[in-house]
């Protein structure tokens, strides 16, 4: 099927879809296209958002007019290649293995690595925020190398704690709430993705770069951002 594609979502929104499977180029296009819609908004658009491979455009007026404007905007550039402005680079302390990451050994073995190799590789490889979702501010991060294409567990882990770093399908998710999950927990951070009392309440943005810094023990982590450091990407 032909991409990008514009599909109705409900009666008052459009979905601009750049792929129907996980694809780094499509994710880049979605983030860049959404950023362009935010920087130079279309008439009658109430809200935009990007996910792993698509952009939501919520309409507050004439839906057909918005669809035409979206088609024109889509044709203006190659969104796979368009630069993403305002990216930031985060370094987030993370404890791996043990109580902080009870499934590190299992996940590493499925990826064909020893636990130490896995942690070393993760520490050396920055990942991008692909999308925010599930709960407010919670990032999907990727893409990891092909051998991290781990299936989700068939049985859910009844509960991972706030701060859990979990892995599946070439991605990490950093949980900001206690929740059941089919992804495997390999580490834990003290990074608060969402805090309604903070401005902005959501820390990460799609397109930001994140590196997880191995620490032996979270007890040493101080500061309201869980020890994270952020800088602009030049």
Partner 1 sequence: MIVLRSCGPLVTHQGDGHPGHMGDGLSRAGFADVRARQEAAALLGVAPEEVGALETPGSPLEIACEEAVTLAFVGAPMEVAAEGRPVPWHASRRVGAGEVLRFRPLGQGVYSYIAAIGLTGPDGTDSAHLTAGIGRALESGDRLSVEDRAQPPERRLTAAPDRFGGGVLRCVPTPQTSLFGDEVARFEAVSFTRDRRGNRQGIRLDGEGGFATEKQLTLLSDFVLTGDVQMTGDGVPYILGPECQTTGGYPRIAHVIAADQPRAFQAPPGAPLSFRFVSLEDARAARPRSPGVEPLVRDPRDIPDLGRYQLIDGITDGRGDEGRS
CA dist., res. 158 & res. 115, Å (int): 24
**Nearest residue (CB) to partner 1, 101 versus 206:** 206
Which residue among 123, 135, 209, 213 contacts partner 1 (CB under 8 A)? Answer: 135
**What is the nearest approach in angstroms of partner 1 to the Cβ of residue 148?**
17
Structure tokens at 137: 């501010």
Which residue among 49, 74, 104, 144 contacts partner 1 (CB under 8 A)? Answer: 49
Which residue among 25, 56, 110, 123 contacts partner 1 (CB under 8 A)? Answer: 56
Q: Which of 109, 112, 91 is nearest to 231 (CA)?
A: 91
Q: Which of 127, 97, 99 is nearest to 113 (CA)?
A: 97
Q: Is 66 in the site for partner 1 (CB under 8 A)?
A: no
Q: Is 110 in the site for partner 1 (CB under 8 A)?
A: no
Tell me the site size for partner 1, rule CB under 8 A.
41
CA dist., res. 213 & res. 92, Å (int): 6
Q: Is 134 in the site for partner 1 (CB under 8 A)?
A: yes
**What is the nearest approach in angstroms of partner 1 to the Cβ of residue 110?**
18
User: Interface with partner 1 by CB under 8 A: which range of 90-98, 119-127, 142-150, 201-209?
Assistant: 201-209
Cα-Cα-Cα-Cα torsion 204, 29, 27, 96, nearest 10 degrees, comes to: -40
Task: Check: CB of residue 215 under 8 Å from CB of residue 221.
Answer: yes
CA dist., res. 108 & res. 145, Å (int): 13
**Nearest residue (CB) to partner 1, 90 versus 96:** 90
**What is the nearest approach in angstroms of partner 1 to the Cβ of residue 127?**
17
């Amino acid at each position: 099927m032909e991409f990008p594609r514009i599909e109705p979502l409900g009666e008052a929104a459009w979905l601009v879809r750049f792929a129907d499977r996980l694809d780094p180029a499509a994710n880049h296009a979605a983030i860049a296209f959404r950023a362009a819609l935010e920087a130079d908004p279309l008439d009658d658009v109430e809200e935009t958002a990007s996910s792993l491979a698509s952009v939501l455009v919520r309409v507050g007026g004439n839906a057909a007019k918005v669809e035409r404007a979206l088609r024109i905007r889509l044709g203006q550039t190659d969104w796979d290649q368009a630069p993403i402005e305002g990216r930031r680079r985060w370094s987030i302390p993370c404890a791996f293995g043990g109580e902080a990451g009870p499934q590190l050994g299992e996940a590493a073995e499925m990826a064909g690595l020893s636990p130490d190799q896995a942690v070393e590789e993760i520490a050396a490889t920055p990942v991008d925020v692909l999308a925010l979702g599930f709960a407010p501010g919670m990032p999907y991060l990727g893409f990891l190398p092909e051998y991290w294409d781990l299936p989700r567990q068939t049985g859910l882990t009844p509960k991972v704690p706030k701060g859990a770093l979990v892995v599946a399908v070439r991605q990490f998710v950093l949980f900001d709430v206690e929740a059941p999950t089919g992804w495997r927990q390999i580490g834990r951070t003290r990074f608060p993705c969402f805090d309604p009392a903070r401005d902005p309440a959501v820390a990460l943005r799609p397109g930001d770069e994140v590196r997880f810094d191995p620490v032996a023990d979270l007890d040493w982590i101080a500061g309201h951002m869980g020890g994270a450091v952020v800088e602009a990407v030049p």
